[in-house]
């Protein structure tokens, strides 16, 4: 009886055809591989040693901390080439003190690569920022959005005074970037670099998806003195055995 059922099940599987939409979706990603080959061909044509140089080492000048939004690709909007920018992205370009992913990237960029300029770049119309302005539940991401809500609470007087919701959201994006610049300065990684005399500048920018331009918020952190004294850390020391 079981053998007959198995044979019938096998015949049914053969008869089943995938919907056309599913079939298209399965093949859609292959275009990315085709694009990759075309890109390699162009790079090799323009510079036969391009990949040889990349394979040897990386010496990026900048660290980019941006949003994961697919419309904000760091290299394309800044005109930088592979190897010129070290990149970390998350929802709403947040600097969370317990985020080991971000801290690991920051440590490698500052301590190993000796990067001198860090850009925190938000963007107008950021979904994370807009979600943080409301009270709707989204699931697991609510725990991440809470950090953005903390920024709103810090600047609630200014933000609540802006009647136009769109303008309030745009200002919230800017204030969020400014807070993340300060939060980078609060890390031991950045403060230790400053203490050692290492040049390290942290800039706050906002990208406008509507016109493609990046706005400099004219906020740059360059030393511990620019932070509230409660965030100042004592000198780093080594424990010798």
Active-site annotation, residues: 67, 69, 71, 123, 126
**What is each CA distance from 211 to 75, 77, 175, 198, 206, in whole angstroms?**
17, 11, 20, 36, 12
Burial (CB count <10 Å: 0-12, 13-18, 19+), residue 230: exposed
Give the C-alpha separation, 66 to 205, whole Å: 10
Nearest to 218 by CA among 187, 177, 189, 158: 177
């Amino acid at each position: 009886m079981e053998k007959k059922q198995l044979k019938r099940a096998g015949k049914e599987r053969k008869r089943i055809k995938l919907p056309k939409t599913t079939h298209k979706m399965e093949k859609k990603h292959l275009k990315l591989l085709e694009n990759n080959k075309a890109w390699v061909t162009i790079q090799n044509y323009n510079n036969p040693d391009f990949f040889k140089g990349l394979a040897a080492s990386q010496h990026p000048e900048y660290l980019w901390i941006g949003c994961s939004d697919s419309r904000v690709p760091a290299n394309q909007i800044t005109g930088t080439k592979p190897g010129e920018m070290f990149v970390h992205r998350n929802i709403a370009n947040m600097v969370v003190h317990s985020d080991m992913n971000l801290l690991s990237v920051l440590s490698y960029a500052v301590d190993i690569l000796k990067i001198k300029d860090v850009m925190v770049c938000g963007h107008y119309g950021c979904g994370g920022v807009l979600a943080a302005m409301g009270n709707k539940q989204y699931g697991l991401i609510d725990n991440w959005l809470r950090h953005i809500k903390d920024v709103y609470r810090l600047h609630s007087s200014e933000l609540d005074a802006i009647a136009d919701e769109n303008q309030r959201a745009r200002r919230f994006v800017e204030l969020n970037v400014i807070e993340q610049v300060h939060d980078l300065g609060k890390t031991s990684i950045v403060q230790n670099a400053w203490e050692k005399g290492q040049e390290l500048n942290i800039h706050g920018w906002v990208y406008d998806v509507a016109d493609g331009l990046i706005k400099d918020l004219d906020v740059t952190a360059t030393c511990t003195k620019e932070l509230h004294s409660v965030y100042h850390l004592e000198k780093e020391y080594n424990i010798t055995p």
